[in-house]
Structure 1
Amino acid sequence: MASNMGQDATSDQEEPELPVLDRPAEGVPSVVDTPEALEQAVQALAAGTGPVAVDAERAQGFRYSNKAYLFQLRREGAGTHIIDPVAFEDDSGVPQLHSLQEAIQDAEWIIHAATQDLPCLVQAGLVPRRLFDTELAGRLLGLPRVGLGAMIEQHFELRLLKEHSAADWSRRPLPEEWINYAALDVELLVELRNRLAEDLDQAGKLEWAHQEFAWLAEHCTDVVPPRKERWRRTNGMHHVRTPLGMAVVRELWTVRDQLAARLDKAPGRLVQDAAISELAVRAASTKPPHVPTRQELREVNGFKRRSARQYETNWVQALERVSQLGPRQLPPLRVAPDGPPPPRTWERRFPEAHARWNKVRPATQKMAEELGMAPENLVSPDTLRRITFEPPELTAEAVDARLAELGARPWQRERLVPVLLELFPQS
Structure 2
Amino acid sequence: MSGRRRGETPPGAAPPPAEYEFIDDLSGIGAVVDALDASSEPIAVDVERASGIRYSERAFLLQLRVPGEPALLVDPETPGRTVGPLATVLSERPLLFHAASQDLPSLRELGIHPTSLVDTELAGRFLGIERVNLAAMISEHLGIGLAKAHSAADWSRRPLPAAWLDYAAYDVLFLHELADEVLPRLDALGRREWFEAECRHLVDSVPAPAAADPWRRLTRLSSLRDARQLARARELWMARDRVAAERDIAPKRLLADAAVIEAARVGPTSRSALLAIDGFDGPQRRRLVGEWLAALEWADGLGREDLPTRQGPPAEHPPHASWKRNEPEAAALLDVAREAIAALADDLGIDQGLLLKPSTLRLWVWRAATTTPADDAELLHEVLREEEAREWQIELTTGPLLEAVRRFRAVS
**Fold match (TM-score > 0.5):** yes
Corresponding position: 1:120 with 2:109: no
- 1:44, CA displacement in angstroms? 1.1
The answer (yes or no) to whether the contact 2:71–2:169 under 8 Å persists in 1 is yes
Task: For 2:180 and 2:386, locate their aligned partners in 1 and report how far apart those are by CA, in whole Å.
Answer: 32
RMSD: 2.4
Corresponding position: 1:19 with 2:13: yes
Corresponding position: 1:215 with 2:201: yes
Name which of 30, 33, 42 aligns with 2:33: 42
Task: For 1:272 and 1:423, locate their aligned partners in 2 and report how far apart those are by CA, in whole Å.
Answer: 44
Name which of 201, 220, 231 aligns with 1:236: 220
Amino acid at match of 2:330: A
Task: For 1:332 and 1:16, locate their aligned partners in 2 and report how far apart those are by CA, in whole Å.
Answer: 50
Please show how residues 256-267 of structure 1 align to structure 2 within 5 Å: 256-267=240-251
Task: For 1:113 and 1:420, locate their aligned partners in 2 and report how far apart those are by CA, in whole Å.
Answer: 29
The answer (yes or no) to whether the contact 2:232–2:300 under 8 Å persists in 1 is no
Amino acid at match of 2:214: R
Unaligned 5+ runs, structure 1: 1-14, 284-289
- 1:131, CA displacement in angstroms? 0.9
- 1:162, CA displacement in angstroms? 1.7
Corresponding position: 1:171 with 2:148: no
With over 3 angstroms needed to count, the CA separation of the structure-2 counterparts of 1:86 and 1:16, relative to structure 1, is: closer
Task: For 2:46 and 2:11, locate their aligned partners in 1 and report how far apart those are by CA, in whole Å.
Answer: 27
Amino acid at match of 1:21: P
With over 3 angstroms needed to count, the CA separation of the structure-2 counterparts of 1:293 and 1:161, relative to structure 1, is: same
Please show how residues 176-325 of structure 1 align to structure 2 within 5 Å: 176-219=162-205, 222-281=206-265, 283=266, 291=268, 293-325=270-302
Q: Partner residue of 1:420?
A: 401
- 1:413, CA displacement in angstroms? 0.2
Amino acid at match of 2:308: P
**So what's the TM-score if we normalise by structure 1?**
0.85
- 1:143, CA displacement in angstroms? 1.9
Task: For 1:377 and 1:106, locate their aligned partners in 2 and report how far apart those are by CA, in whole Å.
Answer: 27
With over 3 angstroms needed to count, the CA separation of the structure-2 counterparts of 1:422 and 1:328, relative to structure 1, is: same
Q: Deviations over 1:62-86 (max 9, x none)?
A: 2112211111011114431111112
Task: For 1:230 and 1:343, locate their aligned partners in 2 and report how far apart those are by CA, in whole Å.
Answer: 20
Question: Tell me, what secondary structure is at the counterpart of 2:346?
Answer: helix
The number of residue pairs the alignment matches comes to 396
Q: Partner residue of 2:3?
A: none
Task: For 2:170 and 2:398, locate their aligned partners in 1 and report how far apart those are by CA, in whole Å.
Answer: 43
Amino acid at match of 2:363: R
With over 3 angstroms needed to count, the CA separation of the structure-2 counterparts of 1:342 and 1:331, relative to structure 1, is: same
- 1:252, CA displacement in angstroms? 1.2
- 1:335, CA displacement in angstroms? 1.9
Question: Tell me, what secondary structure is at the counterpart of 1:177?
Answer: helix
Question: Tell me, what secondary structure is at the counterpart of 2:294?
Answer: helix
**So what's the TM-score if we normalise by structure 2?**
0.88
With over 3 angstroms needed to count, the CA separation of the structure-2 counterparts of 1:140 and 1:381, relative to structure 1, is: same
Task: For 2:66 and 2:57, locate their aligned partners in 1 and report how far apart those are by CA, in whole Å.
Answer: 26
Amino acid at match of 2:255: V
Q: Partner residue of 2:42?
A: 51
Task: For 2:304 and 2:14, locate their aligned partners in 1 and report how far apart those are by CA, in whole Å.
Answer: 61
Question: Tell me, what secondary structure is at the counterpart of 1:86?
Answer: coil
The answer (yes or no) to whether the contact 1:23–1:184 under 8 Å persists in 2 is no
- 1:188, CA displacement in angstroms? 0.6
The answer (yes or no) to whether the contact 2:26–2:83 under 8 Å persists in 1 is no
Task: For 1:16 and 1:256, locate their aligned partners in 2 and report how far apart those are by CA, in whole Å.
Answer: 40
